Structure formats: structure tokens, C-alpha cells
């Protein structure tokens, strides 16, 4: 009888990856609902942890999508990746809660058109002999694309680019004439990295400030002057593990220095503006440390962005959303006790940004055709 039960359990686990992209997430959610925390820990690699006294269930405002029929390329595996880390235990696909009212004003960036602009997603996961494969990154890609499509962005997804091809694509995005009519730009970078560099799939590196952010500053990308430019970087920034500390530390976002080369103001620059402004840069981790992920679930950082933005972008502006993301990641712990601290840099960030999901003003036919 015991052998028969084990056989049925094994059969169930073998079938899960073939039951659609959300099957594993839903299965873990059911286990949690029935308080089977040991099983959750074995499947996800997360240390078993009791949920809050009052569990939060999906509501009509945040319904979970039905199962899809696609072939899920997911392997149920509790083995940590080579970083010795594990990811989000349960992150079922959510719908973005629509906003009920516009958030407008002189102190608010304009986010009213459909499309809002471009969301460029670059995911490098295959590195040949240069570095290990980034298992689970496909889940981050799927969620980020779904999220920003729901925010009315045109999403462009590219995978496994050499460093020079990454720069060429980003340069193309910066020089597009259509940026003139855009409300905003979003760039999401996923790869290996180290401190201020990010890797191409060929093992070559780009400097984040000089090779990427500089392409979109007010000098090199005048079409986006005064408009918000968001960068999300899911990459390690060093090789250190954060095993936590006994002391209580309150983390605050790091508004880093303006990159070298940004000019200072002077009384003679009446008709000029700062070279660097309106950039919000969100890093998965702080310099010197690893960014944690799991091959089944995806990264801690982008999973938190997805969940927080889906549920709260209807009422909260970007900075408040990212504070929630930071808290969510800071409060997580891997099976091995590792932790992670996201980092934010604001370069001349002057206003509040509300995504206004579900609300938009249609562009004129000629503008829509140009997009």
C-alpha cells in the first residue's frame, strides 16, 4: 500500500509540468491552504513557515487566472541553484487591479496614453561555457511582459544577446522617433552581472551607467526629456552571500550619486537642463552581493515587483510601490538563511509616477499607426 501511494505521488509530480504554466503555483497554493508546510518546503526549498494568523485569500478584485493549456517547461525540484538560493514559494499569476480614478497634477508624471510607451525586456539565460544557465528566468519574463502589457506598454522581449547586440538594441530604442510621443520608457535587464556591469551571453560586459543608462539621458535621447525612464536590473552585483545579522537594521533606498559627467548648474544655463534626470533605477540587490532566484519560481526581486504592482499600482505611485517591494524581499529568507536587499537609485526624479492601469486616452490614428 505504501509503495502504491508513493507511485501515485510520483505520477502526480510528473504530470504537473504538463498541466499548464500555472499548475505548480496553484498546487503549492493548495498545499498551503491545507497547512501542509513541510511539503511546501520540500517542493520549493523554502524553510517551512507558518502563514499569518488570518490568511489572505484571492478576492474578486484580485482573481487568479484559470489554468492555461500550454506546455509548461518547469521541473519540480527543491535543489538550490548554484548560488545556494531558493525563490518565491507561491506566486500564482494575478490580474492587475484597475485604477478607478486618474492620478493627475503638476507633481505627477503624465501617464495617460495607450500605449504609454515601450517596455524593453532583455533576458540572457544561456551563456555557453562562459557562465551557468540562469534557470527559472522564463517565469520572470512571462510575468514582466504580462504586467507591463496590462499597464498599456508595448513590450519587446529579446533573449540571449551578445553584449554588442544588447547595446545596439538599446541604442535603437533610444533613437526611435516614436519616443517623442511616449509617456514613459521601461527597460528590464536580466542576466549575470557584477557591481556596475551586466553580462551579454558571450561573456562580454556592458557598464550599466556608461553603456546603457547614458543612452537615455537628456543629451542622447532628447525625445524622452522630462519623461520617466525606469530601469529594473535583475542580476548579481558581486559574489557575497547575505546570511543576515542579529541586529535590527532599517533599510532605506540609496539615492546614489549622479553618474560622472553630469554637469552642474550655473547661472548662464538659463535655456539648458541637467543631462541626467527623471530616471528611476531599481536593482535586485546592493553592490557586492548576489541576487537570489529559484529555477521553479523565478527571482525574488521580480516576483515581488509582479505581486506588489498587480495588487497596488491602482492606487500607489512608483516610489511607494518599490518600498513595498523592498519590504517584501527584505522579509524573505531562503532555506539556508540567505537574505537579499534591493537597492534604488533616483537620478533627478522630480515627480510621482502612477501607472493608472485600465485608464487611458486613445492616441490619434496617425500616432497609433506609428507605434
**Beta-bridge partner residues of 280:** 230, 346
How does residue 244 score in pLDDT terms, banded at 50, 70 and 90?
low
Of 184, 192, 310, 317, the catalytic one is: 192
Predicted pLDDT of residue 130: 82
Euclidean distance between CA atoms 284 and 242, whole angstroms: 13
> In CATH, which of 3.40.50.150, 3.40.50.1460, 3.40.50.2000, 3.20.20.80 is domain 113-240+273-370?
3.40.50.1460
Q: Is 139 a catalytic site residue?
A: no
> With bands split at pLDDT 50, 70 and 90, how would you rate the model's confidence at 290?
confident
- E strands, 177-255, where? 184-190, 193-194, 197-199, 205-207, 229-234
Residue 271's pLDDT band (boundaries 50, 70, 90)? low
pLDDT for 140 beyond 80: yes
| Residue 293 pLDDT | 83
Per-residue cell: 251: 533599510
- The Cα 24–Cα 39 span in angstroms is 13
Q: What is the pLDDT of residue 44?
A: 61
pLDDT digits (tens, 9 = 90+) for 323-370: 999 999 999 888 877 889 999 999 999 999 999 999 998 765 555 554
What mean pLDDT comes out for the span 274-291?
92
Residues linked to residue 346 through DSSP beta bridges, in sequence order: 280
**In which band, very low, low, confident or very high, does the pLDDT at 122 lie, cut at 50, 70 and 90?**
very high
Please check the confidence at residue 233 and state whether its pLDDT lies above 80: yes
Helix (H) or strand (E) holding 60: none
Of 10-19, 34-43, 81-90, minimum mean pLDDT range = 81-90
Identify the bridge partners of residue 197 per DSSP, sorted by sequence position.
194, 207
Catalytic residue among 119, 236, 310, 314: 236
Per-residue pLDDT reduced to its tens digit, 41-93: 666 655 544 443 333 323 333 332 322 222 222 222 223 333 333 334 445 67
pLDDT for position 333: 80
The pLDDT of residue 25: 66
Return mean pLDDT, the chain.
Answer: 78
Residue-range domain boundaries for the chain: 2-44, 113-240+273-370
* Chain position carrying cell 508546510: 37
Confidence of residue 38 (pLDDT cuts 50, 70, 90): low
Q: Is 261 left (phi over 0), alpha (psi -120 to 50) or beta?
A: left
Q: Which of 236 and 367 is assigned the larger pLDDT? A: 236
Contact 45, 297 (CB under 8 A): no
The stretch 227-241 carries a mean pLDDT of 90
Report d(CA 344, CA 215) in Å as an integer: 19
Start-end of H helices in the chain: 2-15, 23-33, 37-44, 137-150, 163-175, 300-312, 318-330, 365-370
The pLDDT value given to residue 107: 97
Which residues share a beta bridge with 123?
159, 190
Of all residues in the chain, what percent carry a pLDDT higher than 70?
Answer: 67
Helix (H) or strand (E) holding 280: strand 279-283
Q: Which of 20-29, 145-154, 307-316 has the lowest mean pLDDT?
A: 20-29
Q: Respond yes or no: is residue 192 known to be catalytic.
A: yes
Q: What is the DSSP letter of 114?
A: E
Higher-pLDDT residue of 266 and 222 is: 222
User: How many Å is the maximal CA-CA distance in the chain?
Assistant: 86
Instruction: Give the residue, 1 or 219, on which the prediction is more confident.
Output: 219
| Model pLDDT, residue 27 | 75
pLDDT digits (tens, 9 = 90+) for 164-208: 999 999 999 999 988 999 999 999 999 999 999 999 999 999 999
Amino acid at each position: 500500500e505504501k509503495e502504491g501511494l508513493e507511485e501515485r505521488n510520483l505520477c502526480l509530480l510528473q504530470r504537473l509540468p504538463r498541466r499548464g504554466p500555472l499548475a505548480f503555483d496553484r498546487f503549492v497554493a493548495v498545499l498551503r491552504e491545507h497547512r501542509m508546510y513541510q511539503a511546501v518546503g520540500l517542493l520549493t526549498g523554502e524553510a517551512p513557515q507558518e502563514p499569518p494568523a488570518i490568511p489572505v485569500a484571492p478576492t474578486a478584485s484580485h482573481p487568479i487566472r484559470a489554468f492555461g493549456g500550454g506546455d509548461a517547461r518547469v521541473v519540480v525540484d527543491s535543489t538550490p541553484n548554484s548560488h545556494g538560493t531558493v525563490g518565491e514559494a507561491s506566486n500564482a499569476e494575478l490580474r492587475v487591479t484597475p485604477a478607478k480614478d486618474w492620478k493627475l497634477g503638476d507633481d505627477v508624471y503624465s501617464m495617460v496614453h495607450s500605449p504609454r510607451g515601450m517596455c524593453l525586456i532583455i533576458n540572457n539565460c544561456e551563456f555557453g561555457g562562459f557562465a551557468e544557465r540562469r534557470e527559472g528566468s522564463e517565469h520572470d519574463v512571462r510575468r514582466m511582459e504580462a504586467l507591463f502589457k496590462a499597464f498599456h506598454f508595448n513590450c519587446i522581449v529579446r533573449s540571449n544577446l551578445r553584449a554588442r547586440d544588447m547595446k545596439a538594441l538599446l541604442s535603437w530604442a533610444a533613437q526611435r522617433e516614436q519616443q517623442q510621443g511616449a509617456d514613459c520608457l521601461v527597460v528590464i535587464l536580466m542576466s549575470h552581472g557584477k557591481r556596475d556591469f551586466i553580462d551579454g551571453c558571450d561573456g562580454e560586459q556592458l557598464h550599466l551607467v556608461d553603456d546603457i543608462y547614458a543612452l537615455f539621458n537628456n543629451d542622447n535621447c532628447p525625445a524622452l526629456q522630462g519623461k520617466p525612464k525606469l530601469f529594473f536590473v535583475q542580476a548579481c552585483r558581486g559574489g557575497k552571500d547575505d546570511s543576515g545579522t542579529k541586529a535590527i537594521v532599517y533599510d532605506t533606498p540609496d539615492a546614489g550619486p549622479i553618474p560622472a559627467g553630469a554637469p552642474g548648474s550655473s547661472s548662464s544655463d538659463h535655456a539648458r537642463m541637467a543631462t541626467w534626470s527623471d530616471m528611476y533605477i531599481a536593482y535586485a540587490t546592493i553592490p557586492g552581493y548576489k541576487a537570489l532566484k529559484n529555477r521553479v519560481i523565478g527571482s525574488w526581486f521580480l516576483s515581488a515587483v509582479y505581486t506588489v504592482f498587480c495588487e497596488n499600482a491602482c492606487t500607489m505611485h512608483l516610489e511607494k510601490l518599490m518600498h513595498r517591494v523592498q519590504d517584501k524581499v527584505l522579509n524573505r529568507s531562503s532555506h539556508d538563511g540567505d537574505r537579499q536587499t534591493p537597492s534604488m537609485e533616483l537620478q533627478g526624479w522630480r515627480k510621482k509616477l502612477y501607472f493608472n492601469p485600465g485608464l487611458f486616452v486613445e492616441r490619434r490614428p496617425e500616432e497609433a499607426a506609428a507605434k
